[in-house]
């Protein structure tokens, strides 16, 4: 067996039988992705319609299409409505197996319409990667056992890759001195202005106070986070996955405390894909509901 096939066995677990718990969990996870897809589509559409006036920073397809056209005439809202129709149909496996592919293209458009104002947030990337995985899974692996395995395996693959990629982006962007605690001081200062601007007040919490009072403590905080990113790819291995996920969650908790950056959808999705929840469900669910098999 070649090395990449071994990784595939860890991600897709092709030899494991499909269980009722796995089916129930998969459909719950798909519902989670659907709800966030609709939430983001409408939230971004409404914001673009009400607030966006001109393109400050073109991202993705906005480099080739003038997305300011979508700021008026409710076009961003119409896009959200089309996404809703295709996403709901895809969830219930109605219509073409390419519906999720249409959803990811339109959702990309919605993102670049909304975030054409200079900010490049990443907290919605995992939902986007999940929709893309559903799109590829539905199109190329329509089999009722293969699709869930491919979707979950590819999401885990790209999560692990993303964290490790973030480690190397820092290594290339700054070098080995990236974890110098004074860099954290600057970031805490920057985020404190964002909070002060948004809320009108800002007070450092205990972790921020600790970091601001000791360059050594600040350096250790950055070093632990950076190392955790490096080992992100180890979640490709089934046995290591829960441990890596726990470390990543702890890192996100630390990011929230030190820099007031919350990745709610990202963290919830990490909790869902990082642990084998189907094992718990299998204890209580002994047969697969027929309706779920229809929607698989």
Q: Which of residues 247-276 bind another protein (CB under 8 A)?
A: none
**List 55, 136, 223, 231, residue binding another protein (CB under 8 A):** 136
**List 35, 38, 89, 215, residue binding another protein (CB under 8 A):** 215
| Residue 55 token pair | 């393109």
Q: Which is nearer to another protein, 201 or 291 (CB)?
A: 201
**List 120, 284, 286, 287, residue binding another protein (CB under 8 A):** 120
Q: Which stretch binds another protein (CB under 8 A): 9-17, 26-34, 93-101, 266-274?
A: 9-17
Q: Which is nearer to another protein, 99 or 111 (CB)?
A: 111
- Rule CB under 8 A: say whether 60 interacts with another protein: yes
- Rule CB under 8 A: say whether 209 interacts with another protein: no
Residue 67 Cβ vs another protein, minimum distance, rounded to whole Å: 13
| Residue 89 token pair | 């149909």
**CA 48/CA 65 separation, integer angstroms:** 16
**List 41, 124, 219, 269, residue binding another protein (CB under 8 A):** 124
Q: Which is nearer to another protein, 46 or 75 (CB)?
A: 46
Q: Which is nearer to another protein, 177 or 287 (CB)?
A: 177
CB 254 within 8 A of CB 221: yes
**List 25, 29, 91, 141, residue binding another protein (CB under 8 A):** 141
Residues 160-199 that bind another protein (CB under 8 A): 161-163, 165-166, 169-170, 172-174, 177-178, 180, 182-183, 185-187, 189-190, 193-194, 196-199
| Residue 1 token pair | 């067996």
Q: Which is nearer to another protein, 146 or 288 (CB)?
A: 146
Q: Which is nearer to another protein, 84 or 117 (CB)?
A: 117
- Rule CB under 8 A: say whether 17 interacts with another protein: no
261 φ, ψ (degrees, to nearest 5):
-105, 120
CA dihedral 294, 96, 101, 107 (to 10 degrees): -90
* C-alpha distances in Å from residue 106, one per residue of 45, 112, 240, 283: 12, 10, 35, 39
- Rule CB under 8 A: say whether 47 interacts with another protein: yes
Region label for 49, one of left (φ > 0), alpha (ψ between -120 and 50) or beta (otherwise): alpha
Closest CA to 58 of 112, 106, 107: 112
- Rule CB under 8 A: say whether 103 interacts with another protein: no
Closest CA to 136 of 103, 88, 176: 103
Instruction: Give pairs for 186-194: CB < 8 Å, separation 24+.
Output: 187/258, 187/259, 188/212, 188/258, 188/259, 191/259, 191/260, 191/261, 192/260, 194/260
**List 68, 125, 256, 260, residue binding another protein (CB under 8 A):** 125
First-to-final CA distance of the chain: 30
Beta strands (DSSP E) in 44-147 are none
Q: Which is nearer to another protein, 32 or 285 (CB)?
A: 32
- Rule CB under 8 A: say whether 157 interacts with another protein: yes
Q: With contacts defined by CB under 8 A, how many residues of the chain interact with another protein?
A: 75
């Amino acid at each position: 067996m070649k090395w990449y096939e071994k990784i595939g066995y860890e991600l897709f677990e092709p030899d494991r039988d499909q269980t009722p718990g796995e089916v129930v969990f998969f459909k719950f996870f798909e519902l989670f992705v659907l709800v966030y897809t609709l939430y983001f589509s409408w939230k971004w559409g409404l914001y673009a319609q009400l607030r966006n006036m001109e393109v400050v920073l073109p991202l993705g397809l906005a480099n080739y299409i003038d997305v300011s056209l979508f700021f008026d005439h409710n076009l961003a809202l119409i896009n959200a409505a089309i996404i809703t129709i295709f996403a709901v149909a895809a969830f219930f496996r109605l219509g073409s197996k390419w519906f999720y592919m249409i959803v990811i293209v339109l959702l990309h458009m919605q993102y670049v319409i909304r975030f054409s104002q200079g900010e490049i947030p990443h907290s919605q990337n995992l939902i986007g990667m999940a929709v893309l995985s559903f799109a590829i899974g539905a199109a190329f692996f329509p089999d009722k056992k293969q699709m869930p395995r491919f979707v979950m395996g590819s999401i885990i693959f790209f999560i692990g890759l993303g964290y490790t990629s973030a480690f190397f982006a820092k290594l290339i962007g700054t070098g080995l001195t990236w974890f110098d605690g004074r860099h954290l001081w600057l970031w805490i200062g920057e985020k404190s202005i964002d909070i002060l601007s948004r809320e009108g007040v800002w007070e450092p919490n205990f972790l921020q106070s600790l970091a601001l009072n000791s360059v050594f403590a600040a350096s250790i905080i950055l070093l632990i986070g950076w190392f955790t990113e490096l080992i992100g790819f180890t979640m490709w291995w089934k046995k290591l996955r829960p441990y890596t996920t726990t470390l990543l969650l702890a890192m996100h908790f630390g990011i929230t405390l030190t820099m007031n950056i919350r990745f709610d959808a990202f963290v919830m999705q990490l909790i869902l894909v990082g642990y084998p929840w189907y094992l718990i469900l299998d204890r209580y669910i002994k047969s697969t509901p027929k309706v779920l098999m229809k929607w698989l």
